[in-house]
Amino acid sequence: MAIRSNPRQRGQLVEQATARWLAERGLTLVASNRHAKGGEIDLIMRDGETLVFVEVRHRQRQDYGHPLETVTAAKQRRIIKAARFYLHTQRLSCPCRFDVVGVTGSHSELEFDWIRAAFDAY
């Protein structure tokens, strides 16, 4: 996978690669890049009966830390708000969880670190 220099394109390619990687592990893609006031959900997937809201964080190098370290409490609140909005607009009531996937590297050398149930809605 070629990672382009445009940050938006790079982000989309990394999210697509992450969705494929998670699908290889049994999840099914439902939606991607869902926006709501004040937040965005990168990937929405199904893991059996559970709806999974996935935050994808990418860094080509770890000189300034691992991408998983960038999911702050404020970021979690924005993701939770967007997830609630999604559930409301889709009229869904089902088990949910919030996962985070840290992606490092570039091109075909991507490495994935997946944290299931990384945080809870409060």
* pLDDT score recorded for residue 26: 97
| CATH class entry, domain 7-119 | alpha beta
3-state secondary structure of 76: helix
Please list, in sequence order, all residues whose beta carbon lies within 8 angstroms of the beta carbon of residue 6, skipping any fewer than 6 positions away.
Answer: none
Report residue 47: phi and psi, to 5°.
-125, 90
2 or 13, which is more confident? Answer: 13
Cβ neighbours, 10 Å, residue 66: 12
pLDDT tens track for 75-91? 999 999 999 999 999 99
Distance, CA of 18 to CA of 38 (rounded, Å): 23
* pLDDT score recorded for residue 63: 64
Mean pLDDT of 102-119: 90
User: Is residue 62 predicted with pLDDT exceeding 70?
Assistant: no
35 or 22, which is more confident? Answer: 22
- Cβ proximity of 35 and 114 under 8 Å: no
Sheet holding 39-47, edge to edge: 28-36, 39-47, 50-59, 96-104, 111-119
Cβ neighbours, 10 Å, residue 77: 15
User: Is residue 109 predicted with pLDDT exceeding 80?
Assistant: yes
Mean pLDDT of 63-70: 76
